[in-house]
Structure 1
Amino acid sequence: MSVRAIRGHRLRSVLTTLGVAIGVAAVITFVTLGASLQADVLGEVAGGQSPSMSVSAAPADAQPGPPGPRQAVFTEHDVSEIRNLTGVNAVVPSGDVPVAGLSVGGQTLAYNRLTASTPAFFEYGAPQEFVAGGPYAQGAPEVVLNEPAVDLFDANVSVGDSVVVVRPDGSRVNATVSGILSADAGPFAGFAVPQVYVPTDPFYDTRLESPTQGVPQRVYPTLTVVAEDFQSVDPTRERVLAYLDGDSDASSLKPATYEFRAQTAQDLVNQIRSLLDTFTAFVTGVAVISLVVGSIGIANIMLVSVTERTREIGIMKAVGAQNRDVLQLFLAEAVVLGVLGAVLGVVLGLLGAFAATRYVGLPMTFPVEWAAIAVAVGLLVGVVAGLYPAWDAARTDPIDALRYE
């Protein structure tokens, strides 16, 4: 009888079902888009990572995440001592070199800083692919540019070309391009910013007196500490932090309000996952509004249906139908509309998710459990939206219903 009633009002039933379907489809599309974005970003961040950690000194009340202005506190003595700790495979120091600009082929551009590190930086600190050339040599006046930095210049910059580094005091240093990094490498391919890398020797000259050695040494704001394997990352991190909090140069050089932090690749993955989960929850919440509108549509249609079939309800009760029979009749009708809308919504959601992921260039990752959730939501929407109209129909007085015109 419920199916017959639905078929008797085809257009109204189709529009009601479509309202639920659009709500479910919107939810599935946004959830799939969020899951695809998360899988792609986390895959890029986690893929190809070495068992490393980024060590820095930050204010104790700073929130976890990418560091702000970094304090240069790690001396060459600290680098040597950490390298000798159990479980440490390599230590890669890095820092910033302030400059005024770069000049290539007579064209000078304003540029504020270079990243200085050792050649191992390209293996452990920022694993990326070279499209030409390779890392610079320590002690040589050489530079490595990524493709966005190359695109800043009108000239076609290639390996072997000369780059003039203009220091803030106006002095100039001639350097040679040793390699060019791909813009498609790394976790944020497509969003790469211009980067220029130089060796610490001879470009990086930030020095402080080592409290333990009593002589001036280069001092760095960031260390990339590479463990021997992934299983030893956590124990190695504990040993590094224990050394730094003990008799290290850094413990004497850092401000009293700062603390040492060692962020592993997994920490970064967890932070990105949390951020993407928040984004997905937000856009999904917006899509849920469509689903609420669809459920209100079912409730409205069922109330109209009860009014239209008042005499039918009276006849049913006159021939022996119980309240529960009338309740089940209208409730079943609402549930059928909800489930049909949910199933249709799953199909539309898959098509929408496929189109959306293709449009933004992401591999589609469909959370299969959401298909079952969508059907369950359709069932729940039908029950909730049809409950009051069905109850209202069940308590109709048969005498009044038979007199109804």
Structure 2
Amino acid sequence: MRVSKFLSFAMKSVKERRTRAILTILGIAVGPAAIVAINSMVEGYSNTILSEISGFLSPYDIVLTPSGVGPSLTQYVVDQLDAIPGVKMSIPFYTIPALANTPQGEIGVSIFSVNLNQLKVAAPALSLMSGKYPPCVDYEAIAGYDLSSDYGFSSGEPVQVTLFYHGINGSRSFLITGILNEFGSFLGVNVDKSIIVPLSFGEQFSSSYSGVIVVASSTSQVNSIVNSIKQEYGSSFNVVVAQEFINLIGKTLVSLNSLLISAGATSFVVSFMGVTTTMFTSVVERTREIGLLRALGFTRHDVLVMFLAEALLMGFIGGIIGIGAGMLMAFLLTSEHFGLGFSFLKGLQVTPVYSPIFLAEAIGIAVTLSILAAMAPSYRASKQEPSTALRHD
């Protein structure tokens, strides 16, 4: 018998037992819907997060911070770092905890003291929303995005802060000359809630920097620079390579995706059991029909294939419905327009990623599991003798 004939029989059987078939198809659809939704969202978040990180962490950056063992990060060390072959520049910085006076009361902020012209090389995504960068004078500064949007900081207005640094507990006033665009964290500092001032401000309080950003001339020289630093200073400084951090985040997100998909794939077990139960019930109900078909010349193989075609059809329809539902779920769960957007990553605009290959695989898995689940019931149907089946009530 031709394949088209088997599919015609399968379609007729599904229509005649519409309610049970619909419930089975919906059960099959749960698996593809779960893994497609999970994969699409995680891939979307992965692309967005890696894009954001790549924006404010240059692959040329190597960050040094004191480990507490050995020498401090002084200007002498910075000069030595500049002398390493392949180093484009070394950018020292201070991070100073402080309290800022706002109309809502005092809030905790970070004073990030750095050469602003050099910082823009290390953090290419850093940009002004309004105002201008301050000249190299200690009392002018730029404020992070959150300080403007949440606490009313604006260009041309002063801000009073209380510093807590190296035993110093004193007040300072800054004139805000500019407001940064939303940025995120950089070197462990929430830039959106920071006041960025010239390097000379931090140098008033200490000759030991909080850290140094070493910028390589090319990515191919990063490893050799890191090796030179470790050979010279051993464990005196913590060394973080931006590209390694980006790669680590990427690997973590891939592992998370695999874990979540594995968890979602357990729903296929439910689908498998549902198809098996439905097909066994169908075989029992259609015993007389099977006997009649055998009496009309259907072989055991024909009966087996007929039931498997029915399972294949339900698996295919369930797979199509499942990927459609999964794509819709991913869209809704990442869309702020529907009030369901995941907001734990503030400011990220996430677009789900729908991989055609993954969608095809989801349908293939649904069809394959449906056929496997129907094997035992179909085999049982094919083994029935016509005379016995026709006498069945």
Shorter-chain TM band? 0.7 to 0.9
1:54 aligns with 2:31: no
* Aligned partner letter, 1:81: Q
Where does the alignment leave 5 or more consecutive residues of structure 1 unmatched? 60-68, 208-217
Match of 1:270 in 2: 247
Pick aligned residue for 2:225 from 236, 239, 246: 239
Q: Residue 283 of structure 2: SS of its match in structure 1? A: helix
**TM-score, normalization: structure 1?**
0.79
> Which residues of 2 match residues 344-355 of structure 1 at below 5 A?
344-355=321-332
Seen in structure 2, the aligned counterparts of structure 1 residues 299 and 171 have a Cα distance that, compared at 3 Å, is same
1:390 aligns with 2:389: no
SS in 1 for 2:208: strand
- In structure 2, what is the equivalent of residue 172 of structure 1? 171
In structure 1, the partner of 2:158 is 162
> Is structure 2 residue 391 aligned with structure 1 residue 403?
yes
Task: Work out which of the residue numbers 359, 365, 381 in structure 1 matches 2:369.
Answer: 381
- In 2, the alpha carbon distance for the partners of 1:354 and 1:170 equals 50
Matched residue, 2:290? 313
Aligned partner (choices 178, 190, 211) of residue 222 of structure 1: 211
Q: Indicate the residue corresponding to 1:66 in structure 2.
A: none
Cα deviation, residue 268, structure 1 = 2.6
Summarize the alignment of residues 85-234 of structure 1 with structure 2, pairs less than 5 Å apart: 85-99=84-98, 101-103=99-101, 109-111=106-108, 113-126=110-123, 127-151=125-149, 153=151, 156-168=152-164, 169-183=168-182, 185=183, 193-204=192-203, 207=206, 218-228=207-217, 232-234=218-220
- Contact 2:138–2:197, Cα closer than 8 Å, also in 1: no
Size of the alignment, in residue pairs? 367
Between the aligned partners of 1:224 and 1:13, the Cα distance in structure 2 is 63
Aligned-partner Cα distance in 1 for 2:301–2:71: 77
8 Å CA contact 1:335, 1:381 repeated in 2:
no
Structure 2: any 5+ residue segments left out of the alignment?
1-8, 342-348
Q: Which residue of 1 aligns with 2:308?
A: 331
Q: How does 1:61-76 map to 2 (within 5 A)?
A: 73-76=72-75
Distance in 2 between the 1:138 and 1:40 partners? 35
Q: Normalized against structure 2, the TM-score is what?
A: 0.81
Q: What residue identity is the alignment partner of 1:202?
A: F
8 A Cα contact 1:57 1:73, kept in partner = no
Per-residue deviation at 1:30?
2.1
Give the RMSD, CA atoms, in angstroms. 3.1
Partner residue, 1:6:
14
Say if 1:159 and 1:179, in contact at 8 Å, map to a contact too.
yes
Q: Cα distance, 1:197 vs. partner?
A: 2.1
Alignment of 1:286-325 (within 5 A): 286-325=263-302
| Aligned mates of 2:385, 2:269 — CA distance in 1 | 32
The percentage of counterpart residues that share the same residue type is: 24
Listed one character per residue, the Cα deviations across residues 245-302 of structure 1 (whole Å, up to 9, x for unaligned) are: 22xxx558x2xxxx642412x3232222223223333443343333332232211110
1:13-32 aligned within 5 A: 13-32=21-40
Q: CA deviation at 1:49?
A: 5.4
Give the whole-Å Cα distance in 2 for the aligned partners of 1:251 and 1:48: 28
